[in-house]
Amino acid sequence: MKKDLIQIISRLCDSDSSKVIDKLYLEGLLDSNSVRNYLIRRDFELALKRNNKDLIKHIFIDISDKYEISFRQAQRIVYDYMKNKVSVGGNTK
């Protein structure tokens, strides 16, 4: 997970972010579950954009295999975040 996060931040910042990520982990500012959940949500969004012909079920199966979590847990991570994001943003559509 740490390697994936380093790659994402490096692309955003145009620099090697491994030292920053290592320091944040050492200081306890990054929680492994939060990082994993972020990466899962990101993988889900990318899969939807890339493979719109794939069933969502297949996307969740791939995610659960990649992160070694249950299918249901993968769904909860994505859907609970989306539900909270909508309710916080006030979007009721």
- Two structure tokens written together for 53: 């012909």
- Two structure tokens written together for 86: 């909508």
The pLDDT of residue 93 is above 90: no
CA distance 24 to 5: 12
- Two structure tokens written together for 5: 């996060």
User: Are 51 and 17 contacting, i.e. CB atoms less than 8 angstroms apart?
Assistant: no
Q: What is the pLDDT of residues 38-91, one digit of tens each?
A: 999 999 999 988 876 668 899 999 999 999 999 999 999 999 888 877 666 555
Instruction: Tell whether the torsion through CA atoms of 57, 52, 54 and 63 is positive or negative.
Output: negative
Is 0.85 surpassed by the pTM of this model? no
